[in-house]
Structure formats: structure tokens, C-alpha cells
Structure 1
Amino acid sequence: MRTINRIILHCTATPRGRHVTVSDIDRWHKARGSSGIGYHYVIYLDGSIHEGRPLERIGAHCQGYNATSIGIAYVGGLESDGKTPADTRTDAQKTALRNLIGMLQERFPDVTIHGHREFAAKACPCFDVLGL
């Protein structure tokens, strides 16, 4: 297993309430030249957690940090207009994210939690990760 020292949180940059699947994201990432979905986990609107890229594989979600991080994305991140960044997480997504992070912290006790915006000029994940 590779060394993991960060969990980096993302949003899918899709409008509030729009259902997006792992297959959709996989298709988008392939269209941009990736070998497939870059996130290790995706949290759907209903709070269900879906595996994207296996943890054993290096992610493709945060340039310069992929080799030693886990990428988690929640579906959403934009207001209904499709342009304005917003914390669109449902209560179910918030609970699922906390639970997933807790599980990963048990497995990788030294990980730190970050928002994508700490490493890129983006609003992503559109909420303050310190206030999980």
C-alpha cells in the first residue's frame, strides 16, 4: 500500500440537487485525458458512499499531492445557477463525509484533512473543512 498522509476534499462542481454518478465523473475525467475517475470516493446526494479509484492506485484529483493523498468528492458545490460556489451538501452527505473520514483516520491515523482550495485557485470544496 502507498503512503497516505492527506485526505483532500472536493466537490463535483455541479448544481445543487443534480444527481451525478461515479460513471458520469469517470466519463468526464476520461474526456480530459485521465485514465479514469480521479477521486477515491464519491458521496451521492443521498449520503451513499461510492468507490471511485481503488485506494491502492494514485489518485488524479490534486496536482502535486496525488501520490500521497486520498481524494473524496461530494456531489454538488454550485448553486442552482451552475456558477456560484456554495456548500450544497445535504445532511446525509455531511454525515457520510464525517463517517468516511473517521473510518479513513482509523486506517491512516496520521492523515490531515484539506480542502482542494488549499492547493489550487478554486473554491472547491465550497465549504470550510475545519467546520466538518
Structure 2
Amino acid sequence: MLPDPPAPPIAFEPLPYQGRLDPRDTGDIDMIVVHCTELPDLPMARRFGEEVLYEGSQTGNSGHYYVDRDGSVHQYVAIERIAHHVRGYNARAIGVELVNRGRYPDWLAASHQAMDEPYTPAQIDALIALVRQLQAQLPSLRFIAGHEDLDTTEVAATDDPDVKVRRKRDPGPRFPWAHVMSRVPLQRMI
């Protein structure tokens, strides 16, 4: 058995609207959802996270944690707050975003659905350590899923409206599920 990676230091860098996100009881959190940013780098992911998309609450889309390619971990939303990262599961889930280009910049183009950037070993080690740390902190944590497992919506492709593409494909085919699942004591929801 491989030794556990050390717990990552976490840089807490709350989004400007974090205080407007709905609060929650951490005992209700039973899932981690793994995403990829589908953006070139962490600064761009931060800018996207800061965008206000919901007029009523003056909040936007974001995960709780972001793991950069070098394995650094950044927390943008406290786990006591409900971040907007996956339809229908936000109240019970922690969103973890891995910096990865994904399908950037043509996310919904039928001609650009390949997700071929591999995740770095440092990212995966940091993710595993973060999941283990969160499980020690939250006894209710039981499940892990990819965004693509929970949101299977298809939409018309931007470059060919007669073709349907998956709205969400992250973390994508390069994510090492078998390795991660062998190292974290959570059940995968698919």
C-alpha cells in the first residue's frame, strides 16, 4: 500500500461574495464532486469564480477548493457555505476544481470535445490528501463523483446545432479514477 500523501497546506482566499452564499450544516455534507476548470490557469479560474451570475443573490459559479497543476490548494468558499458547482447537489457537496484546459475555449463545439491534458501527479496527490483530510473532518462524507457523473445534460453544439454534446464532461477521460478510488475511502456515485 502506498503511503498517504501529506495533508496539503490550504490557502484560504474567499471569493468576494462568499458571505452571500447560503449557509449549511456541515453534517449534511456527504459528497465530494471532482471538476476540472476547463480553463488555462488558476488566475483565469479565479476570475470566472468572481463573476456574479445570479442577480438575486449576487453570487456566481465556483467550487470550494481549487488544485493547481503544482499541487497547491486554494480554498475560495468555506465548506459551511453552499457553492454553485453542480446542479441539484450543491447543498450536500463540496466542489473540488482541478486546473486543466479541458475543452477550452470551445467547450460546446462538436469539433472540440477532446479533453487530452493529463492531470499532474502533484494535483492527484494533493486531491487525495485533501479528500482524506476532509473525510477526517466530516464524518458524514461518504461519496465522490465527477461532475460528468451527476450532470448528463446534452445541448446543441455551438458549431453544429444538429449535433448534441455533453454540457459537462469533467473531470474527463484523463482523470485517474482507479488510482484515486484505491486511495480514498469513499464510494463513487455514478
Query: Smaller-chain TM-score range?
Result: 0.7 to 0.9
Paired residue for 1:26? Answer: 49
User: Residues 128, 45 of structure 1: CA spacing in aligned structure 2 closer, same or farther, 3 A cutoff?
Assistant: closer
CA distance in 2 between partners of 1:63 and 1:128 (Å): 24
Contact in 2 for aligned 1:40/1:72 (Cα 8 Å): yes
Paired residue for 2:160? Answer: none
- Structure 1 residue 86 displacement after superposition: 3.2
Please report the TM-score for the alignment, with normalisation by the length of structure 1. Answer: 0.82
CA distance in 1 between partners of 2:132 and 2:93 (Å): 15
The structure 1 segments of at least 4 consecutive aligned residues displaced by more than 3 Å after TM superposition are 79-83, 128-131
Contact in 2 for aligned 1:6/1:113 (Cα 8 Å): yes
Aligned pair 1:131/2:156, yes or no? no
Secondary structure in structure 2 of the residue aligned to 1:70: strand
Paired residue for 1:6? Answer: 31
Higher RCO, Cα 8 Å, sep 6+: 1
Please report the TM-score for the alignment, with normalisation by the length of structure 2. Answer: 0.59
- How many residue pairs were aligned? 127
2:75 to 51, 54, 59: 51
- Structure 1 residue 79 displacement after superposition: 6.6
Structure possessing the higher radius of gyration over alpha carbons: 2
User: Residues 35, 105 of structure 1: CA spacing in aligned structure 2 closer, same or farther, 3 A cutoff?
Assistant: same
* Percentage of identical aligned residues: 30
Aligned pair 1:108/2:138, yes or no? yes
Unpaired stretches in structure 1, ≥5 consecutive residues: none
- Structure 1 residue 85 displacement after superposition: 1.6
CA distance in 1 between partners of 2:117 and 2:179 (Å): 12
User: Residues 39, 81 of structure 1: CA spacing in aligned structure 2 closer, same or farther, 3 A cutoff?
Assistant: closer
Cα-Cα RMSD:
2.3
Contact in 2 for aligned 1:114/1:129 (Cα 8 Å): no
CA distance in 2 between partners of 1:38 and 1:81 (Å): 18
